[in-house]
Amino acid sequence: MQREVREFVATCHLAKGALVTSLTLMDPQALENDARAAVADASSTDDVERIRVEYLGRKSQLKLALREVRDRETGMALNALRERLAAAIDGREGELARAEIDRRLTEERVDVTMPGSPVRRGHLHLITQIRREVEDIFLGLGYTVVDGREVETTRYNFDALNFPDGHPSRSPLQTLFLDDDTVLRTETSPAQIRTMEAQGPPVYIVSLGRVYRRDTPDATHTPTFHQVEGLVVDEGITLADLMGTLDYLLKALFGEARRTEFRTHHFPFTEPSIEAHVSCHMCDGSGCPVCRHSGWIEIGGAGMVDPKLFEFVGYDSDRYTGFAFGWGLERIAVLRHGIPDLRELWRNDPRLLSQF
């Protein structure tokens, strides 16, 4: 469209000059001289474009002359002239275009330190990030992820897990009851029992999610928190396999340079039971406030599945052995990311959410 406008303007200009567009009157040499002079004078690509219309456009003298020409020789001469002019115009246009780009490249600048156009970015919650990291570690080892349920029967939350009568966890002082037989799960382990009930061995699962305890909130306790629990049941599973698996997990989470140590412990659902410790990632074992000057950090409990659990779900405890472990995800957040107060993970202050 722009080009048509330009041609229109050029034609008017010609009309004003009262030139008669007739072959007989046109002097090719003069025309070429005029055109070349105009081209040489052009100072912008726009100028060149105007000149192109004037001398080579649909209503230019040359075009009209070409339309009227009858003899071959004149036609060839005029065509040659047209090509020469076109080449001159193209050449000049190229020069000017390069000059213009050069000028833009020298003149145009931005303050590269200015901020870019804003793009809103969301953030996954830190605990979700840790949850996925742990899930991915175990998916890589061939485990499946089990969701479980959060409201549980005491049968699955306590009985099946071999919690003896009088165990402190069974007390309403520690556990949130819906009624005598129903609780908010105090660990994700009921999912292990339900999985074993639903399928035979082998079992390789991790279960992650919310658990509930009657804890008064403070910097290191929230009444709801998150656990990861793992369960393996197969032929020939050993305590050494448990330690190897936890060693792998701890190094994945805290760095390949970490050392692990396992200490004897006691839980109702495992026998033998151990507790995993990892060398402090802050001081590498030499002692600092994070590890309370011991060089070691306690991560969580684990052990070989107690035969009573196999009895409950009908597995042959002579043929199959297994291991289980259960840790808090918040503890990883505290240790690895320095979260000073767990309650902040539930306040959702955007200044905190957007850090991770």
Partner 1 sequence: MRAPLSWLREYVTVDAPADEIARRLSISSLEVERVIYVGVADVDGNLGRFLVGRVIAVEPHPNADRLRVCHVDVGEGEARQIVCGAWNFEAGATVAVALPGARLPILDVPLDERELRGQHSRGMILAEDEIGLGDDHAGIMVLAEGPEPGTPLVDVLPIHDRVLDVTPTINRVDLLSMVGLAREVSALFDGDFHPPAADDPAIVDREDVDVTVEDFGGCPRYIGRVFRDVSIGPSPQWLRSRLFLAEMRSISNVVDVTNYAMHVWGSPLHAFDRTRLAGARVVVRRARPGEELRTLDGTLRRLTTDDLMITDGERSVALAAIMGGEESEVTAETNEVLLEAANFEPLGILRSSERLALRTAGSNRWEKGVDPYLAEPAAVLASRMIVDLAGARMTGHVDVQSGLPERPVVRLRTDRASRLIGLVVAPDEQRSLLERLEFEVSPEWDVTVPTWRARDVTREVDVIEEVARVVLDRVPHTMPLRRHVRGRLSKDQRLRRLVEDVLVGAGLSEAYTWSLAASDPDSRAIRLPDPMTSDQAILRTTLFPGLIEAARTGLDAGAVDIALFEIARVYLPSDEQLPDEHWRVAGVVAGGYEAVKGVLEVLYAALQLDLRVERGQHSLLHPGKSATTEAGWLGELHPTLLDGVWGAFELDLTTLFAPVPERVVYEDVLTFPAVLQDIAVTVDEDVEAGALVDAAREAAGPLLREARVFDVYRGEQVGHGRKSVAIHLAFQSPERTLTEEEATAFRDEIVALLVERFGAELRA
Q: Under the rule (CB under 5 A), what is the footprint of Zn ion?
A: 280, 282-283, 288, 290-291
Instruction: State in angstroms the smallest separation of the CB of 147 from partner 1.
Output: 7
Token pair 């052009």 is found at: 42
- Could you count the other beta carbons within 10 Å of the beta carbon of residue 246? 23
- Cβ distance to partner 1 smaller for residue 64 or 243: 243
- Cβ distance to partner 1 smaller for residue 98 or 319: 319
Q: Does 116 bind partner 1 (CB under 8 A)?
A: no
Please choose which of partner 1, Zn ion, none residue 115 contacts, taking the beta carbon within 5 to 8 angstroms, the exact cut-off set by kind: none
Are the C-beta atoms of 153 and 179 separated by less than 8 Å? no
* Segment lying near partner 1 (by CB under 8 A), choices 24-32, 53-61, 94-102, 116-124: 116-124
By CB under 8 A, the residues from 126 to 185 that bind partner 1 are: 127-128, 132, 135, 138-145, 147, 149-153, 165-166, 171-173, 176-179, 181-182, 184
Integer Cα distance of 83 and 242 in angstroms? 86
Q: Does 121 bind partner 1 (CB under 8 A)?
A: yes
Please choose which of partner 1, Zn ion, none residue 229 contacts, taking the beta carbon within 5 to 8 angstroms, the exact cut-off set by kind: none
Instruction: State in angstroms the smallest separation of the CB of 279 from Zn ion.
Output: 8
Joined together, the tokens standing for residue 148 give: 């479980």
Distance of CA 47 to the CA centre of its chain: 51
Q: Does 265 bind partner 1 (CB under 8 A)?
A: yes
Cβ-proximal residues to 304 (8 Å cutoff; 6+ apart), any chain: 237, 239, 242, 270, 271, 272, 273, 321, 322, 323
Integer Cα distance of 192 and 188 in angstroms? 8
In this structure, the strands spanning 320-328 and 144-146 are unpaired
Q: Does 115 bind partner 1 (CB under 8 A)?
A: no
DSSP for 91-133 reads HHHHHHHHHHHHHHHHH----TTS-----------HHHHHHHH
By CB under 8 A, name the one of 32, 68, 159, 247 that touches partner 1.
247
By CB under 8 A, the residues from 211 to 240 that bind partner 1 are: 212, 214, 216, 223-224, 232, 234, 236-240
